[in-house]
Structure 1
Amino acid sequence: MDGGQCVKKAYESILHGDYELAEIWFEQAVAAQPVNPEYHHKCSITCLRNGKLDKALRYAEEALRLDPDNGEWRFHLNTVRAQMLLKESAAILAADLPDYGIAIARLREATELDPLLDEGYLMLAAAYGTLRMYEEATRSAKEALKLNPQHAVARRLFADYNRRRRQARERHKQTGQ
Protein backbone atom coordinates (compact mmCIF):
# COMPACT_ATOMS: atom_id res chain seq x y z
CA MET A 1 0.00 0.00 0.00
CA ASP A 2 1.35 3.44 -0.84
CA GLY A 3 1.61 6.33 1.60
CA GLY A 4 -1.48 8.11 0.31
CA GLN A 5 -3.64 5.04 0.87
CA CYS A 6 -2.24 4.65 4.38
CA VAL A 7 -3.10 8.28 5.15
CA LYS A 8 -6.68 7.69 3.94
CA LYS A 9 -6.90 4.69 6.27
CA ALA A 10 -5.53 6.82 9.10
CA TYR A 11 -8.23 9.44 8.56
CA GLU A 12 -10.90 6.74 8.44
CA SER A 13 -9.60 5.50 11.78
CA ILE A 14 -9.76 9.01 13.21
CA LEU A 15 -13.35 9.39 12.02
CA HIS A 16 -14.16 6.19 13.92
CA GLY A 17 -12.39 7.47 17.03
CA ASP A 18 -9.58 4.92 16.83
CA TYR A 19 -6.50 7.09 17.26
CA GLU A 20 -4.21 4.18 18.04
CA LEU A 21 -5.04 2.60 14.69
CA ALA A 22 -4.63 6.00 13.01
CA GLU A 23 -1.14 6.20 14.47
CA ILE A 24 -0.30 2.78 13.01
CA TRP A 25 -1.57 3.86 9.58
CA PHE A 26 0.43 7.10 9.70
CA GLU A 27 3.52 5.10 10.65
CA GLN A 28 2.91 2.88 7.65
CA ALA A 29 2.63 5.97 5.45
CA VAL A 30 5.99 7.14 6.79
CA ALA A 31 7.49 3.70 6.15
CA ALA A 32 6.15 3.75 2.59
CA GLN A 33 7.49 7.25 1.89
CA PRO A 34 10.10 8.17 4.52
CA VAL A 35 11.13 11.38 2.77
CA ASN A 36 7.59 12.81 2.79
CA PRO A 37 7.64 15.40 5.60
CA GLU A 38 3.85 15.72 5.60
CA TYR A 39 3.48 12.10 6.70
CA HIS A 40 5.95 12.63 9.54
CA HIS A 41 4.04 15.72 10.60
CA LYS A 42 0.65 13.98 10.56
CA CYS A 43 2.07 11.04 12.50
CA SER A 44 3.54 13.43 15.06
CA ILE A 45 0.18 15.13 15.59
CA THR A 46 -1.48 11.78 16.18
CA CYS A 47 1.26 10.61 18.54
CA LEU A 48 0.90 13.86 20.50
CA ARG A 49 -2.84 13.34 20.67
CA ASN A 50 -2.20 9.81 21.93
CA GLY A 51 0.13 11.11 24.65
CA LYS A 52 3.24 9.55 23.10
CA LEU A 53 5.48 12.56 23.45
CA ASP A 54 8.79 10.89 22.59
CA LYS A 55 7.40 9.52 19.32
CA ALA A 56 5.67 12.82 18.56
CA LEU A 57 8.98 14.61 19.04
CA ARG A 58 10.89 12.25 16.73
CA TYR A 59 8.34 12.59 13.93
CA ALA A 60 8.07 16.37 14.35
CA GLU A 61 11.84 16.78 14.24
CA GLU A 62 12.07 14.64 11.11
CA ALA A 63 9.28 16.58 9.38
CA LEU A 64 11.11 19.82 10.05
CA ARG A 65 14.46 18.32 9.03
CA LEU A 66 12.90 17.36 5.69
CA ASP A 67 11.23 20.77 5.26
CA PRO A 68 13.09 23.26 7.47
CA ASP A 69 11.21 26.33 6.22
CA ASN A 70 7.75 25.13 7.21
CA GLY A 71 6.56 27.48 9.96
CA GLU A 72 3.52 25.38 10.85
CA TRP A 73 5.69 22.35 11.49
CA ARG A 74 8.15 24.42 13.54
CA PHE A 75 5.22 25.63 15.66
CA HIS A 76 4.07 22.03 16.12
CA LEU A 77 7.57 20.95 17.16
CA ASN A 78 7.58 23.74 19.76
CA THR A 79 4.19 22.54 20.98
CA VAL A 80 5.53 19.01 21.45
CA ARG A 81 8.60 20.31 23.27
CA ALA A 82 6.40 22.45 25.50
CA GLN A 83 4.23 19.44 26.38
CA MET A 84 7.35 17.47 27.29
CA LEU A 85 8.55 20.29 29.54
CA LEU A 86 5.10 20.50 31.13
CA LYS A 87 5.11 16.79 31.91
CA GLU A 88 8.64 16.96 33.28
CA SER A 89 7.74 19.96 35.45
CA ALA A 90 4.70 18.17 36.83
CA ALA A 91 6.94 15.28 37.89
CA ILE A 92 9.42 17.66 39.52
CA LEU A 93 6.65 19.44 41.43
CA ALA A 94 5.12 16.13 42.54
CA ALA A 95 8.39 14.95 44.09
CA ASP A 96 8.80 14.70 47.86
CA LEU A 97 11.26 17.60 47.74
CA PRO A 98 10.33 19.60 44.63
CA ASP A 99 13.00 21.75 43.03
CA TYR A 100 10.88 24.80 42.33
CA GLY A 101 13.69 26.65 40.59
CA ILE A 102 14.12 23.96 37.96
CA ALA A 103 10.37 23.46 37.58
CA ILE A 104 9.78 27.20 37.13
CA ALA A 105 12.58 27.48 34.58
CA ARG A 106 11.14 24.60 32.56
CA LEU A 107 7.61 25.95 32.79
CA ARG A 108 8.78 29.35 31.62
CA GLU A 109 10.53 27.71 28.69
CA ALA A 110 7.37 25.72 27.93
CA THR A 111 5.22 28.86 27.85
CA GLU A 112 7.77 30.57 25.61
CA LEU A 113 7.68 27.63 23.20
CA ASP A 114 3.88 27.48 23.31
CA PRO A 115 2.34 30.78 24.46
CA LEU A 116 -1.12 29.13 24.36
CA LEU A 117 -0.21 26.59 27.05
CA ASP A 118 -2.70 27.56 29.75
CA GLU A 119 -1.76 24.55 31.88
CA GLY A 120 1.83 25.82 31.92
CA TYR A 121 0.73 29.19 33.25
CA LEU A 122 -1.42 27.49 35.91
CA MET A 123 1.49 25.36 37.07
CA LEU A 124 3.69 28.46 37.13
CA ALA A 125 1.12 30.28 39.25
CA ALA A 126 0.97 27.40 41.74
CA ALA A 127 4.77 27.10 41.92
CA TYR A 128 5.24 30.83 42.42
CA GLY A 129 2.43 30.86 44.98
CA THR A 130 4.08 28.09 46.98
CA LEU A 131 7.22 30.24 47.09
CA ARG A 132 5.12 33.25 48.16
CA MET A 133 6.09 35.08 44.99
CA TYR A 134 2.62 36.55 44.66
CA GLU A 135 3.38 39.11 41.94
CA GLU A 136 4.59 36.33 39.63
CA ALA A 137 1.82 33.96 40.73
CA THR A 138 -0.84 36.57 39.98
CA ARG A 139 0.70 37.39 36.60
CA SER A 140 0.85 33.70 35.64
CA ALA A 141 -2.74 33.01 36.70
CA LYS A 142 -3.84 36.09 34.75
CA GLU A 143 -2.13 34.72 31.61
CA ALA A 144 -3.99 31.42 32.05
CA LEU A 145 -7.26 33.35 32.38
CA LYS A 146 -6.55 35.32 29.21
CA LEU A 147 -6.24 32.02 27.37
CA ASN A 148 -9.24 30.39 29.02
CA PRO A 149 -11.54 32.91 30.77
CA GLN A 150 -13.90 30.15 31.94
CA HIS A 151 -11.20 28.11 33.69
CA ALA A 152 -12.42 27.81 37.30
CA VAL A 153 -9.03 26.89 38.77
CA ALA A 154 -7.35 29.80 37.01
CA ARG A 155 -10.00 32.17 38.34
CA ARG A 156 -9.59 30.83 41.87
CA LEU A 157 -5.78 31.02 41.74
CA PHE A 158 -5.85 34.53 40.30
CA ALA A 159 -8.23 35.77 43.01
CA ASP A 160 -6.26 34.05 45.78
CA TYR A 161 -2.80 35.21 44.66
CA ASN A 162 -4.02 38.69 43.82
CA ARG A 163 -5.46 38.98 47.34
CA ARG A 164 -2.21 37.71 48.88
CA ARG A 165 -0.22 40.09 46.68
CA ARG A 166 -2.27 43.05 47.93
CA GLN A 167 -1.90 41.89 51.54
CA ALA A 168 1.86 41.56 51.16
CA ARG A 169 2.05 45.06 49.68
CA GLU A 170 -0.01 46.43 52.56
CA ARG A 171 2.24 44.73 55.14
CA HIS A 172 5.24 46.13 53.33
CA LYS A 173 3.81 49.68 53.53
CA GLN A 174 2.99 49.29 57.22
CA THR A 175 6.46 48.08 58.15
CA GLY A 176 8.16 50.60 55.90
CA GLN A 177 10.36 47.97 54.31
Structure 2
Amino acid sequence: MDGEYAIKKAYESILKHDFEQAIRWFELAIALKPECASYHYKLSITYARSNKLQKAIHHAGRASALDPQDEHYVLHLQHLQAKGLLVEAEKLFEESDERLWLAVSLVQQAVELDPLSLEAFLLLAIAYARLDEMHLAIRALKELLKLDPAHAIGIRLLSEYELTWKQKMQRTSTSGVQKERKLKHESGEN
Protein backbone atom coordinates (compact mmCIF):
# COMPACT_ATOMS: atom_id res chain seq x y z
CA MET A 1 0.00 0.00 0.00
CA ASP A 2 1.20 3.50 -0.78
CA GLY A 3 0.18 6.99 0.34
CA GLU A 4 -1.97 7.65 -2.72
CA TYR A 5 -4.08 4.59 -2.04
CA ALA A 6 -4.63 5.79 1.54
CA ILE A 7 -5.60 9.25 0.24
CA LYS A 8 -8.10 7.66 -2.16
CA LYS A 9 -9.62 5.71 0.74
CA ALA A 10 -9.74 8.91 2.83
CA TYR A 11 -11.76 10.66 0.12
CA GLU A 12 -14.09 7.67 -0.13
CA SER A 13 -14.65 7.98 3.62
CA ILE A 14 -15.37 11.69 3.28
CA LEU A 15 -17.98 10.97 0.60
CA LYS A 16 -19.63 8.59 3.08
CA HIS A 17 -19.47 11.36 5.74
CA ASP A 18 -17.20 9.18 7.86
CA PHE A 19 -14.69 11.84 8.84
CA GLU A 20 -13.09 9.81 11.62
CA GLN A 21 -12.29 7.06 9.13
CA ALA A 22 -11.00 9.69 6.69
CA ILE A 23 -8.68 11.01 9.40
CA ARG A 24 -7.32 7.50 9.99
CA TRP A 25 -6.64 7.10 6.24
CA PHE A 26 -4.94 10.51 6.02
CA GLU A 27 -2.82 9.62 9.06
CA LEU A 28 -1.84 6.36 7.39
CA ALA A 29 -0.85 8.25 4.23
CA ILE A 30 1.35 10.52 6.34
CA ALA A 31 2.89 7.53 8.11
CA LEU A 32 3.77 6.10 4.70
CA LYS A 33 5.09 9.40 3.33
CA PRO A 34 5.69 11.87 6.22
CA GLU A 35 7.39 14.52 4.10
CA CYS A 36 4.44 14.97 1.75
CA ALA A 37 3.06 18.46 2.40
CA SER A 38 -0.22 17.81 0.57
CA TYR A 39 -1.06 14.90 2.88
CA HIS A 40 -0.63 17.12 5.93
CA TYR A 41 -2.70 19.83 4.26
CA LYS A 42 -5.54 17.42 3.47
CA LEU A 43 -5.52 16.02 6.99
CA SER A 44 -5.55 19.56 8.36
CA ILE A 45 -8.68 20.38 6.38
CA THR A 46 -10.42 17.26 7.68
CA TYR A 47 -9.40 18.01 11.25
CA ALA A 48 -10.71 21.57 10.87
CA ARG A 49 -14.03 20.30 9.55
CA SER A 50 -14.19 17.95 12.51
CA ASN A 51 -13.65 20.83 14.97
CA LYS A 52 -10.22 19.58 15.99
CA LEU A 53 -8.60 22.96 15.60
CA GLN A 54 -5.28 22.36 17.34
CA LYS A 55 -4.60 19.22 15.30
CA ALA A 56 -5.65 21.10 12.16
CA ILE A 57 -3.20 23.92 12.98
CA HIS A 58 -0.42 21.40 13.64
CA HIS A 59 -0.80 19.70 10.27
CA ALA A 60 -1.29 22.99 8.42
CA GLY A 61 1.97 24.12 10.00
CA ARG A 62 3.69 20.93 8.86
CA ALA A 63 2.40 21.39 5.29
CA SER A 64 3.55 24.99 5.26
CA ALA A 65 6.97 24.07 6.68
CA LEU A 66 7.43 21.27 4.16
CA ASP A 67 6.45 23.46 1.21
CA PRO A 68 6.67 27.15 2.20
CA GLN A 69 6.35 28.22 -1.44
CA ASP A 70 2.79 26.92 -1.68
CA GLU A 71 0.59 29.91 -0.93
CA HIS A 72 -2.44 27.68 -0.25
CA TYR A 73 -0.67 26.04 2.67
CA VAL A 74 0.44 29.35 4.14
CA LEU A 75 -3.00 30.96 3.80
CA HIS A 76 -4.68 27.88 5.24
CA LEU A 77 -2.35 27.95 8.24
CA GLN A 78 -3.00 31.66 8.81
CA HIS A 79 -6.75 31.12 8.55
CA LEU A 80 -6.61 28.36 11.16
CA GLN A 81 -4.34 30.36 13.45
CA ALA A 82 -6.81 33.25 13.23
CA LYS A 83 -9.65 30.89 14.16
CA GLY A 84 -7.61 29.72 17.16
CA LEU A 85 -7.12 33.31 18.31
CA LEU A 86 -10.85 33.97 17.95
CA VAL A 87 -11.65 30.93 20.11
CA GLU A 88 -9.30 32.27 22.81
CA ALA A 89 -10.81 35.76 22.53
CA GLU A 90 -14.36 34.42 22.86
CA LYS A 91 -13.38 32.71 26.12
CA LEU A 92 -12.06 36.02 27.42
CA PHE A 93 -15.30 37.79 26.40
CA GLU A 94 -17.21 35.36 28.58
CA GLU A 95 -14.91 35.69 31.60
CA SER A 96 -15.08 39.36 32.52
CA ASP A 97 -14.90 42.88 31.19
CA GLU A 98 -11.45 43.31 32.77
CA ARG A 99 -10.03 40.96 30.12
CA LEU A 100 -11.67 42.66 27.14
CA TRP A 101 -8.55 44.54 26.05
CA LEU A 102 -6.65 41.26 25.92
CA ALA A 103 -9.48 39.80 23.85
CA VAL A 104 -9.30 42.82 21.52
CA SER A 105 -5.58 42.22 21.10
CA LEU A 106 -6.19 38.59 20.13
CA VAL A 107 -8.90 39.56 17.65
CA GLN A 108 -6.64 42.22 16.11
CA GLN A 109 -3.99 39.52 15.61
CA ALA A 110 -6.64 37.31 14.00
CA VAL A 111 -7.56 40.12 11.60
CA GLU A 112 -3.89 40.50 10.64
CA LEU A 113 -3.64 36.77 9.93
CA ASP A 114 -6.97 36.56 8.11
CA PRO A 115 -8.15 39.96 6.88
CA LEU A 116 -11.20 38.32 5.27
CA SER A 117 -12.60 36.96 8.54
CA LEU A 118 -16.10 38.32 9.01
CA GLU A 119 -16.23 36.78 12.48
CA ALA A 120 -13.08 38.64 13.52
CA PHE A 121 -14.44 42.03 12.50
CA LEU A 122 -17.76 41.29 14.19
CA LEU A 123 -16.08 40.24 17.45
CA LEU A 124 -13.82 43.27 17.29
CA ALA A 125 -16.83 45.57 16.93
CA ILE A 126 -18.68 43.94 19.82
CA ALA A 127 -15.62 44.11 22.07
CA TYR A 128 -15.03 47.78 21.29
CA ALA A 129 -18.69 48.53 21.97
CA ARG A 130 -18.46 46.80 25.35
CA LEU A 131 -15.41 48.96 26.08
CA ASP A 132 -17.44 52.05 25.09
CA GLU A 133 -15.08 52.73 22.18
CA MET A 134 -17.93 53.31 19.75
CA HIS A 135 -15.86 54.97 17.03
CA LEU A 136 -13.62 51.87 16.89
CA ALA A 137 -16.65 49.55 16.96
CA ILE A 138 -18.14 51.47 14.03
CA ARG A 139 -14.86 51.27 12.11
CA ALA A 140 -14.71 47.48 12.60
CA LEU A 141 -18.31 47.11 11.40
CA LYS A 142 -17.59 49.19 8.32
CA GLU A 143 -14.69 46.85 7.50
CA LEU A 144 -17.03 43.90 7.99
CA LEU A 145 -19.59 45.45 5.65
CA LYS A 146 -16.93 46.08 2.99
CA LEU A 147 -16.41 42.32 2.95
CA ASP A 148 -20.11 41.45 3.14
CA PRO A 149 -22.42 44.41 2.45
CA ALA A 150 -25.50 42.28 3.22
CA HIS A 151 -24.29 41.03 6.62
CA ALA A 152 -27.55 41.39 8.61
CA ILE A 153 -26.00 41.50 12.08
CA GLY A 154 -23.34 43.95 10.92
CA ILE A 155 -25.94 46.25 9.40
CA ARG A 156 -28.08 46.17 12.55
CA LEU A 157 -25.16 46.76 14.89
CA LEU A 158 -23.80 49.58 12.75
CA SER A 159 -27.12 51.36 13.00
CA GLU A 160 -27.27 50.82 16.77
CA TYR A 161 -23.66 51.85 17.36
CA GLU A 162 -23.94 54.97 15.21
CA LEU A 163 -27.01 56.04 17.19
CA THR A 164 -25.21 55.36 20.49
CA TRP A 165 -22.17 57.30 19.25
CA LYS A 166 -24.33 60.24 18.16
CA GLN A 167 -26.11 60.33 21.53
CA LYS A 168 -22.78 60.16 23.35
CA MET A 169 -21.40 63.04 21.30
CA GLN A 170 -24.53 65.12 22.00
CA ARG A 171 -24.19 64.48 25.75
CA THR A 172 -20.51 65.38 25.63
CA SER A 173 -21.27 68.54 23.68
CA THR A 174 -24.10 69.54 26.03
CA SER A 175 -22.03 68.94 29.16
CA GLY A 176 -19.15 70.93 27.62
CA VAL A 177 -21.42 73.90 27.01
CA GLN A 178 -22.80 73.62 30.55
CA LYS A 179 -19.28 73.56 32.03
CA GLU A 180 -18.31 76.59 29.97
CA ARG A 181 -21.38 78.51 31.20
CA LYS A 182 -20.63 77.52 34.79
CA LEU A 183 -17.03 78.70 34.49
CA LYS A 184 -18.14 82.01 33.00
CA HIS A 185 -20.71 82.43 35.75
CA GLU A 186 -18.17 81.62 38.48
CA SER A 187 -15.64 84.05 37.01
CA GLY A 188 -18.24 86.80 36.83
CA GLU A 189 -18.53 86.85 33.03
CA ASN A 190 -21.94 87.00 31.41
Q: TM-score, normalised by structure 2?
A: 0.86
For residue 123 of structure 2, what is the aligned residue in structure 1?
123
Distance 1:68 1:108 in 2: 24
Larger Rg: 2
Distance 1:135 1:18 in 2: 47
Distance 1:149 1:2 in 2: 47
Segment drifting more, 133-142 vs 91-100:
91-100
Distance 2:138 2:97 in 1: 24
Moved over 4 A (4+): none
For residue 81 of structure 1, what is the aligned residue in structure 2?
81
Distance 1:32 1:147 in 2: 42
For residue 183 of structure 2, what is the aligned residue in structure 1?
none
The sequence identity of aligned pairs, in percent, is 41
Distance 1:105 1:152 in 2: 25
For residue 20 of structure 1, what is the aligned residue in structure 2?
20
- Partner amino acid for 1:174? T
Aligned pair in 2 of structure 1 residues 6, 115: CA closer, same or farther (>3 Å)?
same
Segment drifting more, 145-154 vs 71-80:
145-154
Using the TM superposition, give the Cα deviation of residue 18 of structure 1 relative to its aligned residue in structure 2, in angstroms.
2.4
Distance 1:109 1:87 in 2: 12
User: Which ranges of structure 1 fall in alignment gaps of 5 or more residues?
Assistant: none
For residue 54 of structure 1, what is the aligned residue in structure 2?
54
How do 1:3-18 residues align onto structure 2 when only pairs under 5 Å count?
3-18=3-18
Distance 1:19 1:58 in 2: 18
Q: Is the 8 A contact 1:3 1:32 kept in 2?
A: yes
Distance 1:6 1:107 in 2: 38
For residue 33 of structure 1, what is the aligned residue in structure 2?
33
Distance 1:16 1:103 in 2: 39
Distance 2:164 2:135 in 1: 9
For residue 160 of structure 2, what is the aligned residue in structure 1?
160
- Partner amino acid for 1:54? Q
- Partner amino acid for 2:125? A
Q: TM-score, normalised by structure 1?
A: 0.92
Segment drifting more, 12-21 vs 41-50:
12-21
User: Which ranges of structure 2 fall in alignment gaps of 5 or more residues?
Assistant: 178-190
Using the TM superposition, give the Cα deviation of residue 144 of structure 1 relative to its aligned residue in structure 2, in angstroms.
2.1
